[in-house]
Structure 1
């Protein structure tokens, strides 16, 4: 009876990677690719854009323009590793707009600017808040302009 249950379980799971494979999510605790459109990914990227806006000296707000890659890893909480882009909008900072959905991207030209960012974020469900392990953003022409490590309350350091 146990053999039949095991065969039924294996048939339900379908074909998968070979046992012992270290690619993808087959290894417990390893990072695995997730949907770029996942709600947690979108929230994390939006939070990173707000953090970038609060720390930058730019006259315009930036908003997420593309998620390039998203991964999740189960550790002592849930770790998200996300590569994304933020682009300058037409909304001036002085207007204090918090809804970035209302801000359109700058049209192509001298004011258009995009940063490629890498974020490493850990969410621990049984603790309030989140811990940003790393946030780096760089333009195509420069070294990293924003590096953030530690908890949400730690200062952001500029290079």
Structure 2
């Protein structure tokens, strides 16, 4: 009887341990106060600005959600609101103002996905739905 009880406990222990922690490799909420998360978001924004054909610089006005997933490295998935600013590409960005005129601002909700592999010193934008 005791052997059967121990066998059941050994079989169920991994399931019980995972129950409160979410699925291994699954998406979890990212902490926006974490410097790694902030660096990944800034990298995605910078890459968006480089790749965009728009002559106006876009600015993130709000992070709607930030998720992370352990893969062969770390994947960050950001859902953000972006609007145009008063600056054209190539101008100094410190003086840019957000255009609140909806016709000019063109508010967009974008998904930016970044894959980081810190041991290689690599970051890569995997998805940018606003391009």
What band does the TM-score fall into relative to the shorter chain? 0.7 to 0.9
SS of 2:72's equivalent in the other structure is coil
The structure where helix makes up a greater share of residues is 2
RMSD: 2.3
Q: TM-score, normalised by structure 2?
A: 0.72
CA distance in structure 2 between the partners assigned to 1:109 and 1:79 by the alignment: 32
1:72 paired residue number: 68
- 2:36 aligned with 1:43: no
Indicate the structure whose relative CO is greater, using CA pairs within 8 Å and at least 6 residues apart. 2
Count of matched residue pairs: 116
Q: TM-score, normalised by structure 1?
A: 0.61
Specify every segment of 5 or more residues in structure 2 that has no aligned partner in the other structure, as ranges: 1-14
Query: Which has the higher Rg, Structure 1 or Structure 2?
Result: 2
- 1:116-155 to structure 2, matched below 5 A, reads 116-137=109-130, 146=131
CA distance in structure 1 between the partners assigned to 2:96 and 2:59 by the alignment: 8
Once the 2 structures are TM-superposed, how far is the Cα of residue 27 of structure 1 from its aligned partner?
2.0
CA distance in structure 1 between the partners assigned to 2:115 and 2:41 by the alignment: 13
The structure where strand makes up a greater share of residues is 2
Specify every segment of 5 or more residues in structure 1 that has no aligned partner in the other structure, as ranges: 1-17, 138-145, 147-159
